[in-house]
A and B are shown apart, each in its own frame.
Chain A
Amino acid sequence: MSQPLLQVKDLHTYFNVEGQRAWACAGVSFDVMPGEFLGIVGESGSGKSVTALSIMRLIPDPPGRIDSGEVVFDGRDLLQLPLNEMRRVRGRDIAMIFQEPMTSLNPVLNIGRQVMEAVVLHEKLSREESRNRVIEVLEQVGIPDAGKRLKDYPHQFSGGMRQRVMIAMALICKPRLLIADEPTTALDVTIQAQILELMADLQNQREGSATILITHDLAVVAESCDRVIVMYGGRIQEVASTRDIFQEPLHPYTKGLMGSIPQEDSKGKPLFAIQGNVPAILDFPPGCRFCSRCELVEDRCRSEEPPLVDLGGGRAVRCHLVEKLPSNAEAEEAAP
C-alpha cells in the first residue's frame, strides 16, 4: 500500500474556557491516503472543525492551542515547522474551504483579486499568467463567463456561486490535500448536490490528491466519501468505509446519527433523535464521552473511557459494548 498523504497522530488541541482547558480535540489519530475522499462526521462541538484547523495551524491563539501530537505531511511534522514554512504549505499543499461562502470572502475585494492571491503568492506567476490561471480555474468550477466576472464582488454572486469561487480559490495552486469544512451546509439542497459533485470531479482530476470533507450531514457523506470518521466529544468514536458505516454502524452514536436520517419507511412515524444535547465543552462526562446520551449505557461506561479498538479491515470503534453490540446486519439475518 502506498504511503499516507497525511498522518495525524495523537493530536491534542485545547481552548481556554473560563480559566480551564477545554479539550476540543483529544488524541485524534488518522491517516489520509492519496486519492482518498475522507469524511469526518459529528454534531456541532464534536471537534471536527478544530481537527481541521489544527492541521492547518489556524487555531486562534489565544484562546486555543495545539498542545501535542503530530501532523505529518510529506514526511514533515507540520506542527514543528517554522511559521514561514507553514505559510508555504497553506494554500499551496493544503487548502481549505469554509462553511459560510458569504463571510469567508472579503466583501470589499473583487473575486479576481481574491482568487489570484494564492497563486501570486506561491507560484510567482506574472499578472497575465495569474489572470489566465484564475479564469481557467473559475471556469473549471463552473462559473459562466468567468473572464467578465473577475471584477465582481462577492455580494454579486449567489450562495452556490460564491462557494464555487471559494473552491476555485482553494484549488488554484492544485493542492494535494483539500479540507472542506461544511462546504455545503449554508446552501440549498440542490446546490449542495452540485457542489459535492464538483468536488468529487475535481478530486478525480487531481491525481493522487485527497479531500477531507467535514460535515454533520450523513447524506453528504453517503454521496461523496470513501471512508468516514465519526467524532464526538473531541475523540474519534468510529472509523469505517462509507459502505460499512451505512450497512452496519457499530457505535451507538453512529447508529443514532443514522437513525436521525428520514427513511422511506419512517414516513408518518416520529423522527428518531439522539436523546439530550451535546454537552458544553467543559461538561463532558468522565468515562465514555457519549455515556450521558447513550441508550445502552452501563456502569463501566461512566467511569472508564473505552479505547479505540481496531476491528481489522479498516474498521475501528470506541465502545465497551462493541462485542455485545448486535450489528444491524446480524439482526436482520436473525429476524424471521
Chain B
Amino acid sequence: MAAYFARRFLLLIPTFIGITFVVFSITQFVPGGPIDQMILNMQASATEGGVGGSGSTVEIPPESLAALKEHFNLDKPFFVAYGYWLWDLVQLDLGKSYKYNVPVIEVITSRFPISIYFGLLGFFLAYLICVPLGVLKAIRHGSRLDIASSLIVFAGYSIPGWALGGVLLVLLGGGSFLDWIPLGGFRSEGWEDFSVWHKITDQLHHTILPVMAYMVGSFATLTILMKNSLMENLGQDYVRTAFAKGLSERSVIFGHALRNSLIPICTGLGHAIGLIMAGSYLIEKVFNIQGIGYLGYTSIVDRDYAVVMGILVINTLLVLIGNILSDVLYVLVDPRIRFS
C-alpha cells in the first residue's frame, strides 16, 4: 500500500505540470497581455493628466518595449517561457506581481487567511449541520420534519450563493428594511483597537451572511447524500442481523449502519480541501471581502499573470493532495479497501 501511495505522489508531478502548462500557454496567447495592460494604464493616466488631449497615444520606444518583453519572457516561445517559470517555481519563487510589483507569494498570503477563515468555517458548519440533519431525515423518513427540511435545502440548492447574499444584504444590511448586519467587509474599521470580546462579536457579525452564502449550495448535496447513504444501509441484511441479536434501534443505527454510511461522506472530505481555499469571486464581491476568489478574478482582468499562476499552483496542489487524502481516508474507514 505504501508503494501505491508513493506512486500516487509521483503522479502528482506530471499532473501538476500538465495543468500549469495548459493555463500558462493560454495566458501567453490571449490578447491583451501585461504589456498592453501597462500601455493602457499609461494612456489612461496620460489622458487624465491632460497631456496630449483626446485620442492621443503614448508612444513607447521600441527598445523599451523589447526590454519589457524580455523582462516578462514574452520574447521567447511560450514553452521556453514556461520552462523559465517552472524553474523559478522549483526554487519556490512565484515571481512578482506585475500590478503590485511585490512578490506574488506576499499578495496571495495577504488574502489567504480570509479565504481559509470562510472556507474552513463553512466547511465545518456544513458537516456539523448536514451530517446530523441527514441522519435525522433518514431515521424519520417521510415525516413532516423530513419534508420541510428537504424543501429548505433544495430551495437553498437552487439559489446561487451570491444571489442569496445579495437578497439577505438588502433585507438585513440596513438599507431599506432591517439593520441587523453590516453591509460588508471582513471586519469593521479600527478592528485592531477593539477589546477582545468586541473583536469576536464584530468578526462574527461580519461572518454570518457570507458563510451562509458560501454554504447554501453544498448544504443540499451533503444532507441528501448523508440521508440516502444511511437509508440504503438501513435496508441492508446486516442491519436485520443486528436487530436479530437484540440490539436497540439506536445501537443498530449508530453502531452498525452509520459507520457504513459515513464512508462516502468521509472520502468527500479530501476533495473538499481544494474547495475550501478556492473562495468565490461573486460572494466575495457581494460582501466586499478581499479573499482569494476576488484576487483571482481581478488578477485575470488585470492580466497579472504571475498572480494568476500563483493562485493556480496553490489550488492545484491542494486539489491533487486532497484527492490522495480521499484515498487515504477510504483505507482508514473501509477495511475492504486495500490499494496495491
Contact for B247 among A56, A87, A98, A105, CB less than 8 A = A87
How many contacting A-B pairs (Cβ < 8 A)? 75
> Is A303 among interface residues, defined by CB-CB distance under 8 A?
no
A-contact bits for B299-340, CB 8 A (1 contact / 0 none): 000000000000000000000000000000000011110000
CA distance A118 to B248 in the complex (A): 11
Question: Do B260 and A106 touch (CB < 8 A)?
Answer: yes
Chain B residues near A155 (CB-CB < 8 A): 335-336
Chain B residues near A105 (CB-CB < 8 A): 238, 241
Contact for B246 among A89, A98, A106, A166, CB less than 8 A = A89
Q: How far is the CB of A180 from chain B (nearest CB, A)?
A: 12
> Is B69 among interface residues, defined by CB-CB distance under 8 A?
no
Q: How far is the CB of A229 from chain B (nearest CB, A)?
A: 21
Chain A residues near B248 (CB-CB < 8 A): 84, 87
A-contact bits for B229-264, CB 8 A (1 contact / 0 none): 000000011101111111110000000100110010
Question: Do B246 and A104 touch (CB < 8 A)?
Answer: no
CA distance A166 to B238 in the complex (A): 11
CA distance A246 to B236 in the complex (A): 37
Q: Give the one of B237, B244, B248 with max A CB within 10 A.
A: B244
Question: Do A104 and B245 touch (CB < 8 A)?
Answer: no
**For residue B244, which residue of chain A has the nearest CB?**
A96
Task: Give the size category of A's interface with B.
Answer: 20 to 34
Contact for A108 among B241, B242, B245, B259, CB less than 8 A = B259
Question: Do A90 and B336 touch (CB < 8 A)?
Answer: no
Q: Give the one of A58, A98, A117 with max B CB within 10 A.
A: A117
Q: How far is the CB of A45 from chain B (nearest CB, A)?
A: 18
Q: How many residues of B contact A (CB 8 A)?
A: 20
CA distance A134 to B158 in the complex (A): 52
Q: How far is the CB of A225 from chain B (nearest CB, A)?
A: 22
Contact for B242 among A95, A106, A107, CB less than 8 A = A106
Question: Do A91 and B237 touch (CB < 8 A)?
Answer: no
**For residue A88, which residue of chain B has the nearest CB?**
B246
Contact for B335 among A56, A87, A98, A108, CB less than 8 A = A108
> Is A103 among interface residues, defined by CB-CB distance under 8 A?
yes
Question: Do A58 and B244 touch (CB < 8 A)?
Answer: yes
Q: How far is the CB of A109 from chain B (nearest CB, A)?
A: 7
Question: Do B246 and A108 touch (CB < 8 A)?
Answer: no
> Is A301 among interface residues, defined by CB-CB distance under 8 A?
no
Question: Do A104 and B241 touch (CB < 8 A)?
Answer: yes
> Is A153 among interface residues, defined by CB-CB distance under 8 A?
yes
CA distance A100 to B236 in the complex (A): 11
CA distance A87 to B246 in the complex (A): 4
Tell me the chain B residues, 3-26 only, with Cβ under 8 Å from chain A: none
> Is A169 among interface residues, defined by CB-CB distance under 8 A?
yes
**For residue B238, which residue of chain A has the nearest CB?**
A106
**For residue A90, which residue of chain B has the nearest CB?**
B246
With known contacts A56-B244, A92-B246, A104–B334 Cβ distance under 8 A: no
Q: How far is the CB of A272 from chain B (nearest CB, A)?
A: 33
Contact for B256 among A109, A153, A170, CB less than 8 A = A109
CA distance A109 to B245 in the complex (A): 15
Question: Do A121 and B247 touch (CB < 8 A)?
Answer: yes
> Is A149 among interface residues, defined by CB-CB distance under 8 A?
no
Q: How far is the CB of B255 from chain A (nearest CB, A)?
A: 8
> Is A133 among interface residues, defined by CB-CB distance under 8 A?
no
CA distance A225 to B334 in the complex (A): 40
> Is A293 among interface residues, defined by CB-CB distance under 8 A?
no
Give me the 4 closest cross-chain CB pairs, A-B, nearest first. Answer: A91-B246, A90-B246, A91-B245, A103-B237
7 contacts between A and B (CB under 8 A): A98-B237, A98-B244, A104-B241, A106-B238, A117-B245, A118-B246, A170-B244
**Contacts A96-B244, A108-B263 known; 12 new A-B pairs at CB < 8 A:** A84-B248, A88-B246, A92-B246, A98-B241, A100-B237, A104-B237, A105-B238, A106-B242, A108-B259, A153-B336, A166-B241, A169-B241
Residues on B close to A: CB < 8 A? Answer: 236-238, 240-248, 256, 259-260, 263, 333-336
